[in-house]
Amino acid sequence: MMVKKKTNETDDNKDRNNSEIIENKDNKPSGTGEEGIVKGSSSEESGAKAAEESESPSGSDADKVVSEEKVIEAKLAEMQDKYLRLSAEFDNYRRRTLREKMDISKYAGEEILRQILPFLDDFERALKHIESSPDCAGVKEGIDLIYVKLSEFLSQQGIKEIESLNREFSVDLHDAVAQIPVTEDDKKGKIVEVVLKGYYLKDKVFRHAKVVIGE
């Protein structure tokens, strides 16, 4: 009986020691030793990989970026084409306008000169009659008719005579070519003779009158 009891106590001590060893193994820190280092490095690698995956765009995002770039390039090419076309059109317009201005300045008086030619024809006929006709009265009458006809034509074009005789001298309308003494007080400082008539063209002074002023 004594031997059996001792044997039972020995078995109890073994079981108690085994349970303590298991408890100590369970309480051992997981981060220590080679196993902890391996687990730590693997966690860091997984974090870096996750960051790289979050930074790098996915396949659909990359396709979207490429599509947007193509749209922008197409719009840029379209705008550049429009700019080139507008530039060419403006250059053609500028050249055409410049040519038209040159033609206008070159042939501006064409219509007026065409309408003046009949008066030249009348004067030529009058000169022929002067050579062959002894009637000076008839020649004078013909020249008067031509003068009236020409005056009416110029009036239709906006030409109007500047009234100068016995008027006050004006630097805007007259050019004084001489001054002569006068006995009448009311003629002093006024125009006493018109050497060359002046004319308006509509509201503009077309030619200044050359006058003589009394003093």
**Longest CA–CA separation in the chain, Å:** 195
* pLDDT on residue 210: 93
Please, which residues have CB within 8 angstroms of residue 170's CB and are 6 or more apart in sequence? none
Q: Does domain 161-215 have CATH number 3.50.30.30?
A: no
* Mode of pairing for the β-strands spanning 209-214 and 191-196: antiparallel
* pLDDT on residue 49: 54
* pLDDT on residue 32: 45
* pLDDT on residue 140: 80
Look-up of token digits 């550049």: 80
Could you tell me which of 157, 155, 160, 156 has the C-alpha nearest to residue 173?
160
10-residue mean pLDDT series, the chain (215 residues): 44 53 48 45 53 55 81 90 91 90 77 82 81 74 86 88 89 91 86 91 89 91
DSSP structure class, residue 28 = S
Where does residue 29 fall: left (phi above 0), alpha (psi -120 to 50 degrees), or beta otherwise? beta
* pLDDT on residue 89: 92
